[in-house]
Structure 1
Amino acid sequence: MNESDTRRARAGALNLHGLLAHWNEVASEAWVDTLLGWEERERGRRGLERRLRAAHIGRFKPLCDFDWNWPKRCDRAAIDALMTLEFLEDATNVVLVGPNGVGKSTIAQNIAHRTLIEGHAVLFTSAGQLLGDLCALDSDSALRRRLRHYARPQLLVIDEVGYLSYSNRHADLLFELISRRYQNKSTLVTTNRPFAEWREVFPNAACVVSLVDRLLHHAEIVSIEGDSWRLKEARDRAEQRTRQRREVKS
């Protein structure tokens, strides 16, 4: 393909039909490349903004500002490897396990954002939002459509599994979703519960063992240990306010 054909293909990909209609008149003009570049960059920017809104990642602290010295145990090399997104190539799942406030959601948001920047479809949701959404549907056709919605992204992040308890129906729906994505798309889960305690998250649900089995097959599991960073920040703010009050009194 020569240079002119390449430029014409770019114009076609951008659906610039007016330009294509007069291609023989303008193909040799120098400004055509400038115009194509402007249009490609602008559409790329708008497309990224649209996908960011649809992904629902929310505001988050970038990993460059993450205090790696705070957790008592955290495999930074494993996190760095996840940020390369190689796990997406063979639909490997990721599970971040640890107590409240150690940075699981922040790490998940950074991985999700990186995935989005690289052009993949991403959806970030909490377990409560996901299961509440699915359980609220009152028809089989609506449920099938919604399951397809959650099964579609290259990366689905399910945050905060274990913070609430769920019914058998919730467990069945989560199992159905994980099964649809199994070995096809990557799912990232954050949880504050070891897997032995997931029966407490889904009490009396018959599918818990199968759910965990599907989720963990070919999964990358990263355990994080430590105290809550949010509690640390709250203590720091309280101490700062105390110092300020003492300074005012003195």
Structure 2
Amino acid sequence: MHDISIIQIVLCGIVILSAAFIKGMTGFGFALLAVPFLSLIFPMQILVPAMSLFNLVSSLVILLKLQEKIKAYYFIPMFVASLGGIPLGVYALEYVSSDTLRLITGILVILFSVQMLGKIKLAKHFLNFPIVFAGFVSGILSSSISVGGPPLVIAMNRKGYPKDKFRGVFAWFGTFSSFFTTVAFLMKGMIEMQSVNLSLFCLPILFFGSHVGAKFSGKIEPDKFRKIVIGINIITGSFIVISSLVN
């Protein structure tokens, strides 16, 4: 059992609000920005189940608001593939130390951020095939370090999905994947009351921050701001890697 202090809750609120504001303004990067900071505040064994519950509820809300129709062809293959990755991630979360998971998180945040800056060029093979491998990787990362979004973002950007399809596919996948990840955590007895409370605390902050951020989206040059956020991710990831290695 892990005790959560008032200071941790306050810091968590600040991080969630900032990440949600940026997501509302730029349309990306909530988990990529929030999880590295939150991993400095909470043990991964508390944080990851909380984020799973958090993602399940927020994905359901987005799904209920969706107006565009998304064919099952676009999200079912990646979801089925994620089912093979989720048990591996749960196993890692249960048996790998929190510091090692933080180290992995930091390294992946740096790699994903550099790719999003366009510094890593991806091959153009298999563009006509459904997204499968990214779904599998997302399943592992979602259930182990709660940063499962970037592989899907990269895969869908690579295919050139328009904004509406991108948003719809992400909402459907996030709902299914978060549900089965949460079920896996429940079956393993890995969801403590602290994780539930943390998730419930963060949800209203997410919706408020996203709403306010969306109001500012037209007032700031999105591409420039996006690069600044990614730069922050790289710095944060580097700090996490160094601190994990020192520990």
TM-score, normalization: structure 2? 0.25
Structure with more helix by fraction? 2
Larger RCO: 1 or 2 (CA < 8 Å, sep 6+) = 2
Q: Which protein shows a greater Rg?
A: 1
